[in-house]
Amino acid sequence: MSIIKRLIGVFTLRPQVFENIGQDPAATWQAAIIVGIVGFISAVSAAISSVIWGVAFRASNLGLGLIDGAIADIGFRLPVLNGPIPAFLSAFFGTYVSWLLWALVTWLIGEYIFKGDTGFAELARITGYAKAPQILSGLGFIPGIGWIARLVGWVWMLFATFFGVKQGLELSNGKTLLTVILSSLVTALVNWFVINPIFASLF
């Protein structure tokens, strides 16, 4: 299945597409490219925002993206540190960090707490693809409607993640929902208290 067909399936929330993604090792590099594209677009938006508003979005990926941010999933809007370049770098590299962190936490919770059945690589592919709707975060710098675009992208990503995790871990709806909620909370805390301070010191 081509990457385009897979993306269409992700945006339309087709469970069989997530199953195909999880089972295909070749989809790993595709997921990494998708995360990179989302990260680049988020980074450009963060850089523009830092110029327009004097703030940079230093993101922490809850894997959810409540406040988008320089890093994608769930981010936090913090005062800019050194302008658009640090904002761009923080957003771009933070996207990858948040993706891998969220995939790991989701896998650990689903596999060892709810007894799911999958490997980390499979879940990383699924969550990487599930981040595609966050491409809407690229509109986050637009005054008045930016937050709407981020919110839509975040909610869309959550639905995609739910279907993907359910398919990958082979869990019930209830266990899948709990897995996504718990992994999001854990990832948010790690991002906020660990990842964000690290990126603040680097950029």
pLDDT of res. 64: 37
Residues of the chain with pLDDT under 50: 55-81
Q: How many structural domains compose the chain?
A: 1
25 CB burial (10 A radius; 0-12, 13-18, 19+): exposed
The radius of gyration computed from the CA coordinates of the chain, to the nearest angstrom, equals: 16
Is 200 among the domain residues? no
pLDDT one-digit tens code per residue, 1-29: 889 999 999 999 999 999 999 999 999 99
Is 189 among the domain residues? yes
Q: What is the value of pTM for the model shown?
A: 0.82
Is 202 among the domain residues? no
Domain span at residue 115 reads 3-194
Is 106 among the domain residues? yes
Is 199 among the domain residues? no
Is 203 among the domain residues? no
CA 57 to chain centre: 15
